[in-house]
Amino acid sequence: MKRRVVITGMGIVCPVGNTVEEAWKNVKDGVCGIGPITKYDTSDRKVKLAGELKDFNPEEYMDASEIRKLDDYSVYAVCAAQQAFDESGLESCDDDRRRWGVTMSSGIGGIGTIESEHSRGLEKGFDRVSAYYIPKAISNMAAGNIAIRHGLKGMCSCAVSACASAANGIGDAFRNIRDGYADVMLAGGSEATITELCIGGFTALKALSKSEDPGRASIPFDKERNGFVMGEGAAVLVLEEYEHAVSRGAKILGEIAGYAATCDAYHITALDPSAKESSRCMQLAIEDAGITAEDIDYVNAHGTSTKINDECETKAIHNVFGEHAKKLKVSSTKSMTGHLLGASAAVEAVFTVKAIEEAIAPPTAGLQEADEACDLDYVPGKGQEADIKYAMSNSFGFGGHNVCLVFKKI
């Protein structure tokens, strides 16, 4: 018999807030966290905007000496994980932590460290780069540092599947608990990619918006959309076996009911315009949850603000939901946070759980006039009241990765 998996804690640092409470309030209100890049001089660069963290102070969670030994993506992850762990109340749980684990994803890892240490090597010689260069840069180290900090001795891994990374990580953690291999898993994603090289790379791919108006840069489904906006940050969910959570009197925030992953096997960056495999992924996640498409009330869309993604995702939703697609609330919270790459699914999972908990569908902020090929209810402007019993969160990544998670009201 499959075990139930619930959520007992959440943490977040992202462009619209550095706690779940702050971020969710801003998302409900349609507050945009996108603004001019401050991390480097953009005067001679085509891309001027990003979703940077604001007023973020990691010393609320970590010592300065510890922070210096970590790349920003690991710092963000550790801080979000601490919030989630604190909310869960697990610290006081006298349990076997060999059955507690972590899956903390990152699509790119310590790119900022790679850039800075390469520059240092060119200047001083490559034998004189930092001794912390490798453990700061590698993509699994956010997971490793969280495990060390909380004594998590079960599975410790980092799913890397581009912009679907955190969704795969959350799904893997879900299955690990459901199938009896663990009782508790911290799962999420982190990214710190507002760097010159990373922004430059995506600019060369013609993937990023060159808009200089923060309110018209990340505009999923809008007919004037012209690329995504880079974001940064992290989010973590504490997943727990239902009976384990109940036995210790934990507050249960929601439940994960289904998970599926497929691959387009079509192109290194572009989605398959037929949307066959993304459609199949949604259908498999619904079946995994033991429900029908008509049971889904809200879809947190991948919604990147690129022409092909938004059209393909809309097509996939029509393929799976048929006439019910007209009744769905569908929104992209990337309209406010930007696209956090490997962390995006974790941030969106937090917002999806809050949407269910508070019966509010978050908006697609900034949406003014939908593209002709995008004909669903995208909740423009501000959040709308909605009775949400089941919600789906979609994630798609370069390489053809499709991942869908289904969340349930507890």
Active site positions, annotated:
163, 302, 339
- The three-point CA angle 62-196-44 to 5° equals 135
CA distances to 115, 136, 149 from 343, rounded to whole Å, are 20, 17, 20
**Contact between 310 and 371 (Cβ < 8 Å):** yes
Q: How far apart are CA 234 and CA 226, in angstroms?
A: 25
Alpha-carbon distance of 184 to 206, in angstroms, equals 41
Q: What is the largest CA-CA distance in the chain?
A: 64
User: Are 292 and 321 contacting, i.e. CB atoms less than 8 angstroms apart?
Assistant: no
The separation between the first and the last C-alpha atoms of the chain, rounded to the nearest angstrom, is 19
Q: Which amino acid is present at 392?
A: M
CA distances from 84 to 218, 264, 288 (A): 28, 33, 26
Q: What span, in angstroms and rounded, lies between the C-alpha atoms of 55 and 104?
A: 24
Q: How many whole angstroms separate alpha carbon 2 and alpha carbon 229? A: 39
Distance CA 349, CA 171 (A): 11
Q: Please list, residue by residue across 330-362, b when 16 or more beta carbons sit within 10 angstroms of its beta carbon and e when fewer do.
A: bbbbbbbbbbbbbbbbbbbbbbbbbbbbeebbb
